[in-house]
Amino acid sequence: MYKSGLTELEVVLAVARRNGFRAAAVELDMSTTAVSNALAGLEARLGTRLFHRTTRSVSLTEAGHEFVDQIGPAISQIQNAMASIVNQKSLPTGTLRINSSLGAALMIFQPILLEFLRRYPGMTVDISTEGRMVDIVAQGFDAGLRISSRVPQDMISVPISEDISMVVVGSADYLSKYPKPVTPNELAQHTCIRARLPSGVPSPWEFSQDGKKLKVDVFGPLVLDTPILMLEAVRQGLGLAQLPEWYLIEDIASGRLVKLLEQWVTPSPGLSLYYSGHRHLPAGLHALIHLIQEVRDIRPL
């Protein structure tokens, strides 16, 4: 019986992650033709089509989903074992420069960056946080960290998290004085802590329910540009705020903050690390990408 090589299985996983041959080829440092041929050869030997292909998209078949679910953990274990051996011989050293929004840096600090520094004591991570987007190549950064929808199209993107739920919250003290809003339009009757967009104007709050999307211009005397300050302001009872749910887990669990308008699901694009595919990939960045994929497999963010 033919035994499939590891490369073919890695091709399947890369195409599934990237939803396309070209992006998978860049990730694997292979030609698009080589990726297509490897996949076609594996499908022929399996006697099963793993992907639906059109001129515009590539997506897993039902058999493909089952196959990826089965081989994914095994391939990850093999890659981890190989990386462990390599790392014992030569751990990456040097400085990894990352440009990021403050919120994105905070989100990955505990599950990824601290573990990265623990594993690679010879590495220095230099993070520059700012709201505006910059040309990471021109500014000398190795990688960027932003919500996925803002990653430049000419960059290679490494997804870190799924969509992030945006939640409206208020302190128990504030809500003891004012009625809870039942619909987003009732926010006009409340003091709201607003976030400033990189353009300088306050951001509207966005909501969706049953496919219906709604933007609401809220009002309040406080406009801030960092989620940390917004969180502290809502804790102090200065008004309501809309923040990523992962910021609020402990406050909600303790009863310090109350989740509002729960029936209005408000998803925001998840985070991605991105970098230029036209430059040599530093060993430290390669190690960080591997860790991100490992963390996603074990505990999706």
* 215 and 121 together in one domain: no
- The shares of helix, strand and coil residues in the chain, as percent rounded to the nearest 5, are 45, 25, 30
* 49 and 27 together in one domain: yes
Which residues on adjacent β-strands are paired with residue 59? 52
CA dihedral 238, 239, 245, 251 (to 10 degrees): 50
* 198 and 294 together in one domain: no
Predicted pLDDT of residue 258: 95
CATH code of residue 179: 3.40.190.290
CATH code of residue 117: 3.40.190.10
* 187 and 221 together in one domain: yes
Q: Supply the range of the domain harboring residue 17.
A: 6-87
Q: Could you tell me if residue 256 is inside a domain?
A: yes
Predicted pLDDT of residue 57: 81
The amino acid at residue 197 is L
Residues 256 and 182: their CA atoms lie apart, in Å, by 20
Looking at the structure of the chain, the number of domains it has is: 3
Q: Check if the beta carbon of residue 211 is closer than 8 Å to that of residue 220.
A: no
CATH code of residue 72: 1.10.10.10
* 78 and 51 together in one domain: yes
Q: Check if the beta carbon of residue 14 is closer than 8 Å to that of residue 28.
A: yes
* 141 and 281 together in one domain: yes
Per DSSP bridges, beta strands 123-129 and 94-100 are parallel
Predicted pLDDT of residue 4: 52
Residues 71 and 12: their CA atoms lie apart, in Å, by 9
Is the torsion defined by CA of 214, 219, 223, 227 positive or negative? negative
* 171 and 248 together in one domain: yes
SS (H, E, C) 84-104: HHHHHHCCCCEEEEEEECHHH
Residues lower than pLDDT 70 in the chain: 1-5, 83-90, 198, 297-301
* 47 and 101 together in one domain: no
* 147 and 180 together in one domain: no
Q: Could you tell me if residue 64 is inside a domain?
A: yes
pLDDT tens column, 59-77: 999 999 999 999 888 887 8
Choosing from 42, 71, 87, the residue where a domain stops is 87
* 210 and 255 together in one domain: yes
